[in-house]
Amino acid sequence: MPQSWRAHAVALFAYATVAIVFSWPLPLHLGTSLTGEPGGDTGVYVWNQWVFHHELIEKGSVPYFTDTLFGGVGETNLSLHNYTTFADLIAIPLRTYLTVMYACATRSHSARRSHGRR
């Protein structure tokens, strides 16, 4: 392993260690707990991810319309909803291996990093 890759590996390991230490004990409960109040934005983001995956992957339809709201009324238009499309697309491959809670936490971190926020 060249020196530059070794330095990157050490930095990545150090970053992961600091992230785990500062968020302790949350890493023990990522599959069963949310990182915020479910009645606020956190709950909306988890629902966004679930309904996006449900419509796109499970039903094979456009994720901007759903019949999971307002039962008996038909499809609801979500095109003006505060969808997190980019983050939901990141979460699609993660949902194959992780629960919705793990995928939500992981994609939130990835989206923040891609927008330059921490």
Map out the domains of the chain as residue ranges.
1-30, 31-114
> In this predicted model, what pLDDT tens digit does every residue of 28-49 receive, in sequence order?
876 677 777 778 887 888 888 8
Which CA distances in Å does 37 have to 10, 31, 40, 65, 76? 34, 15, 6, 26, 25
Would you state the pLDDT for residue 10?
Answer: 92
Q: Which of 32, 39, 22 is nearest to 104 (CA)?
A: 32
Prior bond to 25 cis, omega within 30? yes
Would you state the pLDDT for residue 34?
Answer: 73
Would you state the pLDDT for residue 103?
Answer: 57
User: Do 56 and 92 form a contact (C-beta atoms < 8 A)?
Assistant: yes
Would you state the pLDDT for residue 112?
Answer: 42
Would you state the pLDDT for residue 118?
Answer: 46
Which CA distances in Å does 62 have to 3, 75, 78? 47, 11, 10
